[in-house]
Amino acid sequence: MALAFRSVCKEMPLHLCGETPRNLCRPPTPYRVGSGGGRATGLPATVCALLGMAAGGLLGSATGARAWQAEPPPRSDLEAVFRNAARIPALTSLLVARGDTLLGERYFHGGSAGRVVNVKSISKSVVSALVGIAIAEGELEGTNRTVGELLPDYAPRVSDPRKRAITVEDLLSMRAGLATTSFGAYGAWVTSDDWILAALRRPLECEPGTCWIYSTGNYHLLSVILTRATGVDTRTYAARKLLGPLGIPARPWDRDPRGYYLGGNNMAFTARELLRFGQLYLAEGRWRGRQVVPADWVRGSLRPLVVSSFNGYDYGYGWWGRRLAGEEAWFAWGYGGQYVILVPRLALVVVATAAPGREGSWREGDRALFDLLEEEVIPVVRRDRSPRVP
């Protein structure tokens, strides 16, 4: 097994390397196709390079019924943002977009537009999108399906009936109740002969659906469920249904000893590819006139199902939520400073990547990035007089 897992912690979002966080959570609300109404707002446009470059190259767009292009903020404002961003030691990229318009991008400390980054637990947000697509296409029946139903060959090997009753929703929202396979348990889990069984045999720390315990094992079970439900591996399904439509290559990543792609860690993207993913979710799953991810799935993913007592952030279906400068924000988050951040009211998408091994604490880098967003990026965008996405 050619795996190079050198750390028991590095697959996690930055702040989560420590004690297993858990807390009481809000009652689950299973997602079903068509359960949400509402619109899907498309966001067509071109990409404008800022800071002395002419409007030009196409980064990708989400074409819908309305065309608009944000007027970039004053150049000096964004230049100040990027100057201050360069002082964050581990930061390798910062991209700021308004809807479909790239307001500015800068690369630091060896980063570049073409550099492919291990996005760590942002992979969970990608797997979440794939689950929503599979449900919409009838390959999965809904989030109330249980592990016992979806992994019947493993059910007899799991003695506790409560584990067999864990639902897809529980896995998506980190409420399976199983002890974590992350943090200090990660190394033993990924060196086991059967990651599926090892995840299911973790002890129950609470009744499923009643507490939040962050665990990459939950999302690996989702990857296995996807593979079995769709008849193709997770990478192939992602290429066909999600990444391909966005013009993003489905690069290979780790597999478990049984050949299933690791769910929830170690996918690889460039910063601009992450921006497309963020713009897709800002547009409620619509890209170039095509509904790639169901709009009601996007809305259901970006809703607070549980509050982490570890950091006070909300958690939905693979997305984190908090307020930034008084605005509701949702973000996909990976270890070491990998972020796709949405501020829906401002039609703002921010992407940041980092090299966690560089000098300086990545925890300090996290704080510095959020300070930059609250004190500089969001105020700059608020001063922009261009139209908001309704």
For the chain, the structural domain boundaries read 14-43+79-383
By CB neighbour count within 10 A (0-12 exposed, 13-18 middle, 19+ buried), where does 52 fall?
Answer: exposed
The confidence score (pLDDT) of residue 63 equals 33
Contact criterion met (CB below 8 Å) for 2 and 350: no
Q: CA 13 to CA 59: how far, in whole Å?
A: 27
The confidence score (pLDDT) of residue 30 equals 39
The confidence score (pLDDT) of residue 364 equals 79
77-82: long-range pairs with CB below 8 Å, 24+: 77/380, 77/383, 78/50, 78/51, 78/103, 78/104, 78/380, 79/51, 80/376, 81/372, 81/376, 81/377, 81/380, 82/51, 82/106
Q: How far is CA 319 from the centre of its chain?
A: 6
The confidence score (pLDDT) of residue 41 equals 33
Q: CA 276 to CA 282: how far, in whole Å?
A: 10
The confidence score (pLDDT) of residue 286 equals 98
The confidence score (pLDDT) of residue 39 equals 30
Contact criterion met (CB below 8 Å) for 168 and 232: no
Closest residue by Cα to residue 105 from 147, 140, 72: 72
The confidence score (pLDDT) of residue 361 equals 61
CATH architecture of the domain covering 14-43+79-383 = 3-Layer(aba) Sandwich (3.40)
The pair of three-digit structure tokens given for residue 90, joined into one six-digit string: 């581990």
Q: What phi and psi values does residue 230 have, to the nearest 5 degrees?
A: -95, -20
The confidence score (pLDDT) of residue 365 equals 81
The pair of three-digit structure tokens given for residue 309, joined into one six-digit string: 């007592």
The confidence score (pLDDT) of residue 281 equals 98
Q: What phi and psi values does residue 94 have, to the nearest 5 degrees?
A: -145, 120
By CB neighbour count within 10 A (0-12 exposed, 13-18 middle, 19+ buried), where does 158 fall?
Answer: middle
pLDDT (tens digit, 9 = 90+) per residue, 270-316? 999 999 999 999 999 999 999 999 999 999 999 999 988 688 899 99
Report, as ranges of residue numbers, the positions in the chain whose pLDDT lies below 70.
Answer: 1-76, 309, 357-362, 385-390
Q: CA 381 to CA 324: how far, in whole Å?
A: 13
